[in-house]
Structure 1
C-alpha cells in the first residue's frame, strides 16, 4: 500500500481496477462532512473480498485507499459529465446517490480544494494505472483492463426499476475489440441477468485507457450489489457471494485467455 492506493502485480496480461472500493476519508476532509458523508454508503462494497480469487489466477489488481466521496477516480479531472443530460455525481461529490448532502453548510469543496485532491489522490492512482498497463503491454504485447464496480440494485437517481445483475460497458464498442465482448457474452451468466452498454457504458477509466488499436482492451463491469450483499445492512453475504463468484471467475478466466491470445499474436 502506498499512501493512497495498493497495487499487486500479477503474472498475466489482466489488470483489475477497483476505483470505488476505498473506504477511508482523510481527517481534514472528514471534519467538513455530514454523518451521511462519513457513512460512505455509496462505496463499491467488498469488491476486494468478492474478487479474492483473482490474485491466484495471475491478475494484477489496483485499488485506492480513499473513498469516492474524497474524489471520484472514475471521473474526468476537469469535471466533464460522463453522461451528458443525465443526473450524475461530480468529480468531488457533494451529494450521495440518495441526494443527501455530504458536507455541512458552507463547507463544500472549493475549486482550489478540488485541484488539491486531484494532485494528492487522483493523479497518483492514474499514474500507477497507466504505468502498470504500459508494463503489461511491454511484457505481453497487449493488456486487458477490467474496471470492477458495483452498485445498489435500485438507485432512482440514476436508473428506473431494478438494475440488471451484470452490466458490461465498452464505451459502445470503442474501448475493446469486438471479439472480447463476444467471448464475455458467450459466458453463461444464468440465473443472473446481463446487459452490455445499457445504463452503464463504461466510465472515464474505461473510455480513457481502452485503446484496442494499441492492443489495450478495457471493459467495465457494474455488478448489482444484490448478487453478493445484504443491501440494507451493506454487509457481505457469503451465501450470495458463493453463488456469483463462479460467474466472476469465468469472466476473469475469459479475460486472461483473451490476453494470452493477443500475447501470442503480438
Structure 2
C-alpha cells in the first residue's frame, strides 16, 4: 500500500502546516486533562484481514468548542454516528482491529480530504494548497461550516491557523493510525478489507434501505466482497441499497485499491434500527443490530479466508 500520509501531505504542504502559528489574538485552546486521545485503537488478532473503523463515532465535545459555537449541543450532534464503535464490538471480538475517532465530525471530519475547506469561513489570507470540493464549498469539508442539519456553526469567521491546528490535532492522527493498521494487515495477509462504519438518518433520500453499501461504484472494493456483504445482510432480513445515496466518502476512495488487494467498503446503518435519533439513546434494537454486524463480519472473514 502506498504511503498514505505522505501522498496527501506533500513536503510543501507539510512545511506550510508546520509554519502556521496561531496569532496572539487567537491562542490555541487550553489542554483538557479529561479529554480522551483523539483516536482509540482496539488491536485485533493476527488472523484477521479485516479492519473496522468508525470515523464519525466521536462524542467528546470540548468546552472551548461548545461555548463558542452558535448552535446548542443537540444540533451540533445532528451529524454524529452515535455508538457505531459500540455496535462494532461483537464484530471486533471475532478478530478484526477496531479504530474509532473520539472527536466529533462537526469539529473535524476525517472522511474529507485534509484541505477540502470552504475559504469563505476564514478570515485573512488563505494558503494556495486549499482544494475545496463541491461538498467543501457547501460547508461540509474537513472543518465543517454547518451542522448535519445545515445550520451555521460559528458566529464569526475563523483564523485559518485554527483549521491547520485541527488538521494536525485530529485529522492527521486518525489517518496515521488507520493507514498503519491497514498497512500491517496487508503485509500479514497479502490483502486487507476496511469496513468503514457509519449511520444514516431516516430521510426520503435514504428510502427504505436498512443498510447502504458504498464501494465508490465498484472502484474501491472487489465485486465478490460487495455481493457477499449484500447477500448476508438480506439473509438476515435487512433491506439494502448500493451506492445510493451514499457511495463512500474520502476514506473509501483513499484506501480502496482492489488491484492491490486493498478493499474498502462503506457501511451505512439506519439509525432507527438501534437508537432514538432525537435523543441519541440506544433502544432495544441495539444488541440485535450489533449481533447482525458480527454475522456480517464473520461471513466476510469466511469469504476472504
TM-score bucket of the superposed structures, by smaller chain: 0.7 to 0.9
C-alpha separation between the residues in 2 aligned to 1:82 and 1:200? Answer: 16
Contact 2:139–2:146 (8 Å) recurs in 1:
no
Q: Find 1:3's aligned residue among 27, 37, 42.
A: 37
Residue 23 (str. 1) matches residue 72 (str. 2): no
C-alpha separation between the residues in 1 aligned to 2:292 and 2:228? Answer: 13
Contact 1:82–1:204 (8 Å) recurs in 2:
no
Contact 1:169–1:196 (8 Å) recurs in 2:
yes
C-alpha separation between the residues in 2 aligned to 1:58 and 1:231? Answer: 30
Q: Find 2:147's aligned residue among 90, 93, 96.
A: 96
Q: 1:244 to 1:115 in 2, by over 3 A?
A: same
| Aligned-pair CA distance for 1:93 | 1.3
For normalisation by structure 1, the TM-score amounts to 0.86
1:141-156 superposed matches below 5 A: 141-154=190-203
User: How many positions carry a matched residue from both structures?
Assistant: 253
Contact 2:52–2:88 (8 Å) recurs in 1:
no
The match for 2:14 is: none
Show structure 2 runs of 5+ residues with no match: 1-34, 117-130
1:1-266 superposed matches below 5 A: 3-11=37-45, 12-37=48-73, 39-79=76-116, 89-103=140-154, 105-106=155-156, 108-154=157-203, 160=205, 162=207, 164-189=209-234, 191-237=237-283, 239-260=284-305
Q: 1:161 to 1:245 in 2, by over 3 A?
A: closer
For normalisation by structure 2, the TM-score amounts to 0.76
Q: 1:161 to 1:125 in 2, by over 3 A?
A: closer
Q: 1:87 to 1:221 in 2, by over 3 A?
A: farther
